[in-house]
Amino acid sequence: MAGLLAKFGHYTHAVVRGIPSSLATEALRSSEAEVDLTRARQEHADYVEVLRTRLGLEVVELPADEALPDCVFVEDAAVVCGDTALITRPGAVSRRGETEAMKEALKKLDLNLVEMTDENATLDGGDVLFTGQEFFVGLSKRTNQRGAEILADAFKDYAVSTVPVTEGLHLKSFCSMGGPGLIIIGASEHAQKALKTMQQMSNYRYDKLTVPDDLAANCIYMNLPGKGHVLLHSTGDTFPESFKVLEKLTDCTLIAVSGSEKMKVDGALTCCSILINKKTDI
């Protein structure tokens, strides 16, 4: 397992998708905040540019689909680990169509596809935390036990544990990996409780970094050739207090990425890309 952890965060490709105009009015959301579409598109273009130019990933950009207002949140449509891609069955009916384009894109990348066809199963990728050693799957409004069981079948090399998500949209709405063995977690009571559950269920030891804002705990960790450890995180404008905590991470390159418009429709940084490692030897 140590060998697998050594490759944790290695990526060569990213799949992203454009923002349809329908996001502004029809994307699912928990608040009534109004989305500035122009700003959301600019933020997304900046995010994609970081992946492509600053980090050197090969980016596959799927076109936006007006009939799928949430389609920019590609993470929910598939879970990729190694050379296997699980095409999910998203919990929201309005989002089920998002998997079609994702399936085609991942097929072209020569991944082994597993499709979640069981009509009793639901799973959003935002509920899936891969630590490099095991999976945690949030049981939320979007993801159920059957979905977690199918994920466990698809990725048999890893243990899969479930965690109740009692508030917020997804498991990763309040946590993510900050590096091998490091979980970044929000300060809210439900986030801390979920972390305790994960620690109790695991055979591994994880360090934690608590940030005051739950959504600021959603970061993207990568370990890239020639770049080393990199952490994409929300900007200081969006979360000033959490920014101060993240700034203390001195052993990685910190890249601040703005996503405040997408947050109005419950989108976080990890939601907007599927990261893939096509080179097993880097």
By CB under 6 A, tell whether 73 contacts ligand GLY. Answer: yes
Residue 13 annotated to the active site: no
Give the per-residue SS3 of the chain: CHHHHHCCCCCCEEEEECCCCCHHHHCCCCCCCCCCHHHHHHHHHHHHHHHHHHCCCEEEEECCCCCCCCCCCHHHHEEEECCEEEECCCCCHHHCCHHHHHHHHHHHCCCEEEECCCCCCCCCHHHEEECCCEEEEEECCCCCHHHHHHHHHHCCCCEEEEEECCCCCCHHHCEEEEECCEEEEECCHHHHHHHHHHHHHCCCCCEEEEECCHHHHCCEEEEECCCEEEEEEECCCCCHHHHHHHCCCCCCEEEEECCHHHHCCCCCCHHHCEEECCCCCC
**Whose Cβ is closer to ligand GLY: residue 15's or residue 57's?**
15
User: Which residue in the list 81, 175, 271, 272 is annotated as catalytic?
Assistant: 271
User: Which residue in the list 13, 44, 81, 170 is annotated as catalytic?
Assistant: 170
- Quick note: the x/- pattern for ligand GLY over 260-279, rule CB under 6 A, is -----xxx------------
How many other CB atoms are there within 10 angstroms of residue 31's CB atom? 9
**Whose Cβ is closer to ligand GLY: residue 121's or residue 252's?**
121
By CB under 6 A, tell whether 7 contacts ligand GLY. Answer: no
Residue count at the site for ligand GLY (CB under 6 A)?
Answer: 10
Residue 271 annotated to the active site: yes
Could you say which of 15, 19, 27, 246 contacts ligand GLY (CB under 6 A)? 27
- Quick note: the x/- pattern for ligand GLY over 199-238, rule CB under 6 A, is ----------------------------------------
Interactions with ligand GLY, residue window 150-179 (CB under 6 A): 169
Residue, CB closest to ligand GLY? 28
Could you say which of 5, 28, 37, 114 contacts ligand GLY (CB under 6 A)? 28
Could you say which of 7, 10, 29, 41 contacts ligand GLY (CB under 6 A)? 29
Active site residues: 170, 271
Binding residues for ligand GLY, per CB under 6 A? 27-29, 70, 73, 92, 169, 265-267
